[in-house]
Amino acid sequence: MIHPVILCGGSGTRLWPLSRKSYPKQFSAIAGDLSLFQSAVIRLNDGVFADPVVLTNDDFRFIVTEQLEGIDQTAAKILIEPDGRNTAPAILAAALWLQKSDPEALMLVAPSDHIIPDAKAFRNAVKGAAETAKAGHFVTFGITPSRPETGYGYLELSEESDTQTNGTKKLSRFVEKPDAKRAAEMLTSGKYLWNAGIFLLPVRVLVDAYKTHHPKMHDYVEQALNGSYEDMKFTRLAPEPWASVDPISIDYAIMEKAKTLSVMPYSGTWSDLGSWDAVWRQMDQVENGNACSKNTTAIDCHNTLLRSESPGQELVGIGLDDIVAVAMPDAVLVARKSDSQKVSDAVASMKSRDIQQATKFPRDHRPWGGFESLVVGDRFQVKRIVVKPGGVLSLQSHHHRAEHWIVVAGTAKVTVGTEVQLLSENQSIYVPLGTVHRLENPGKVSMVLIEVQTGSYLGEDDIIRHEDIYFRN
């Protein structure tokens, strides 16, 4: 069996406003009906692959379980990193966990935010690399370049490699992102592949490599795993030893030092969706090279991406050339496609000014469902709350606000003080300031509720939790 290890703790900003720290791109349906994370799980789901090991962080743990449930998939283990320390420690934690049950296991390390449309072809490439990995080689996957791309790192094939035959090749070295002139030269030479950041690794050999090249990291990560504890469906790595780990990528920590390194070329479509220009390339393009989502209208536009993320919001482009326009309920991005790599600079600027749209997604995700703010005014806020079947909010109270609840779909089980009652559609209830209360969905369909908050302070930190089935503070 090949054990997928899916990395989904990142919080990239290059696809802002769709991707934000509180809800990054891997959980969004950027190309199709499934999220990138869901597509990554399904891509590695046939008889050769075991259930995946998922590495994520505390903020995303319930999003991971919800999205796995949404595709009827399970994880062999969900490891929670106390904080992000780059890919090398995360991959080592997964390797040490796998080594306990199968020292000779092969692990396929895959980011959760890539797009690979031909899942069968990619699985075949992984299977084709398995014998090389079993022989003790680290296998990285290289994408046959289709253009002189400056946004990717490259892999240089060894002079001994036969580019005309199938199977793995000897890898000479990793190459940093080149400038345009160098990228064109590398494309012409035929000796370079894009570095996909996907690896097929023999667990035993990998752990030994950490012991050789980063013994302190090995010891700290091992301590973090040995000190881990179970929390519902998750395994939390111990925070104290984890905090001592140097943040470094697996490329620098291990791969560039490896003596037995191979590459599996992959000629199918692949993208890390690292910019809106890359998203435009992957979307279906209609007349004049325009890529348009639902709720958009393009008039006399060329090579333009129009994307509206709200069903009630129409985005109209007129006379645009090589433009990206992305509209969300709380933020809009307009940029030249060639400048889409600068989106991270815009996010950094907004963060420095404490603009909440820089990091906060308009919809907050919770283990019981989620909510979004519809209107915010002086001393009041209106929210739309969705509670999934069986979802239970914490038993809580507030210092500074009262709440009015109106059920618009489904059935709500409501606790206010000592009273418990069922509310159906069009029924409402008032929760006075300071009163202990709880909201539950006892039904089999999602319950939707409109909440009107009134008071002197309406922040999410004005919550005193008295009980919580999800064990949050």
Alpha-carbon distances, residue 272 vs 111, 236, 262 (angstroms): 9, 28, 21
Return the closest-CA partner of residue 455 out of 423, 424, 433: 433
Point out the least confidently predicted range of 7-16, 66-75, 451-460.
7-16
User: Which residue, chain included where needed, has tokens 């969300």?
Assistant: 328
d(CA 88, CA 7): 11
Name, in order, each residue with C-beta under 8 angstroms of 67's C-beta and a sequence gap of 6 or more.
27, 35, 37, 38
Name, in order, each residue with C-beta under 8 angstroms of 272's C-beta and a sequence gap of 6 or more.
111, 113, 114, 152, 196, 197, 278
**Can you tell me whether residue 251 is helix, strand or coil?**
helix
- Confidence check: pLDDT of 213 > 90: yes
Q: Do residues 2 and 50 touch, judged by C-beta distance below 8 A? A: yes
- What does the DSSP 8-state code read for residue 455? E
Question: Burial of 186 by CB count in 10 Å (0-12 exposed, 13-18 middle, 19+ buried)?
Answer: buried
Question: Taking residues 272-297, what's their average pLDDT?
Answer: 93
Residue-wise pLDDT for 376-412, tens only, equals: 999 999 999 999 999 999 999 999 999 999 999 999 9
What is residue 232's predicted lDDT score, i.e. its pLDDT? 87
User: Which residue, chain included where needed, has tokens 């891509």?
Assistant: 43
What is residue 151's predicted lDDT score, i.e. its pLDDT? 87
- Confidence check: pLDDT of 286 > 90: no
Q: Name the token pair of 328.
A: 């969300």
Q: Name the token pair of 369.
A: 């469902």
**65: phi then psi, degrees, rounded to nearest 5:** -65, -40
Return the closest-CA partner of residue 146 out of 281, 324, 286: 281
User: Which residue, chain included where needed, has tokens 């050789």?
Assistant: 212
Phi-psi label, residue 37: left if phi above 0, alpha if psi -120 to 50, beta otherwise: alpha
Question: Taking residues 426-447, what's their average pLDDT?
Answer: 96
Question: Taking residues 341-366, what's their average pLDDT?
Answer: 94
What is residue 318's predicted lDDT score, i.e. its pLDDT? 98
Share of the chain above pLDDT 70, in %: 98
Q: Do residues 389 and 446 touch, judged by C-beta distance below 8 A? A: yes
d(CA 281, CA 77): 34
Task: Indicate the average pLDDT of the chain.
Answer: 94
CA 366 to chain centroid, in Å, comes to: 16
Q: Name the token pair of 376.
A: 């915010």
Instruction: Compute, in degrees rounded to 10, the torsion defined by CA atoms 17, 21, 26, 27.
Output: -90
What is residue 158's predicted lDDT score, i.e. its pLDDT? 87
d(CA 442, CA 421): 11
Element spanning 467, H or E: strand 464-467
DSSP 184-233: HHHHHHS-EEEEEEEEEEEHHHHHHHHHHH-HHHHHHHHHHHHT-EEETT
Residue-wise pLDDT for 307-322, tens only, equals: 999 888 999 999 999 9
- Confidence check: pLDDT of 164 > 60: no
Name, in order, each residue with C-beta under 8 angstroms of 164's C-beta and a sequence gap of 6 or more.
none
d(CA 60, CA 365): 9
Cα-Cα end-to-end distance for the chain: 39
Buried b (16+ CB within 10 A) or exposed e, 244-262: ebeebebbebbbeebebbb
| pTM beyond 0.95, yes or no | no
Return the closest-CA partner of residue 383 out of 367, 411, 406, 361: 406
What is residue 397's predicted lDDT score, i.e. its pLDDT? 97
CA within 13 Å, CB half, 175: 22
What is residue 165's predicted lDDT score, i.e. its pLDDT? 57
Element spanning 37, H or E: helix 36-43
- Confidence check: pLDDT of 360 > 70: yes
**439: phi then psi, degrees, rounded to nearest 5:** -125, 135
User: Which residue, chain included where needed, has tokens 């929210």?
Assistant: 383
User: Which residue, chain included where needed, has tokens 């490259």?
Assistant: 154
Strand spans (E) along 388-443: 395-397, 401-409, 412-416, 419-423, 428-431, 437-440
Q: Name the token pair of 70.
A: 């949404």
Residue-wise pLDDT for 33-73, tens only, equals: 899 999 999 999 988 999 999 999 999 999 999 999 999 99
